[in-house]
Amino acid sequence: MSVIPDHLDGAVIPGGCNTCNAEQRITQLEPGMWSIGIAHDDWCPTWQRIQAQRQTHT
């Protein structure tokens, strides 16, 4: 049994960031395994900080 209902696969939910108009995207990777990603606006300072941190850890 999945905690997240199957009908939410592919759902886009507004929010997820306090500094931009981000959207949360829910994807079922396989039965019982889900991914929730946040899509930030390109200009978002939070997203720019995340990208900068990823570049320094590569």
The per-residue pLDDT for range 11-28, each reduced to its tens digit, is: 999 999 999 999 999 999
DSSP-based three-state secondary structure for 6 = helix
pLDDT at 7: 87
| pLDDT at residue 3 greater than cutoff 90 | no
Model pTM?
A: 0.73
Q: Which two tokens stand for residue 12?
A: 């886009």
Measuring CA to CA, how many Å separate 40 from each of 19, 31, 33, 58? 9, 27, 23, 21
The per-residue pLDDT for range 32-57, each reduced to its tens digit, is: 889 999 999 999 999 999 999 999 87
Measuring CA to CA, how many Å separate 18 from each of 10, 15, 22, 24, 38? 23, 8, 8, 13, 12
Instruction: Strand 12-14: give its sheet, edge to edge.
Output: 12-14, 23-30, 33-39
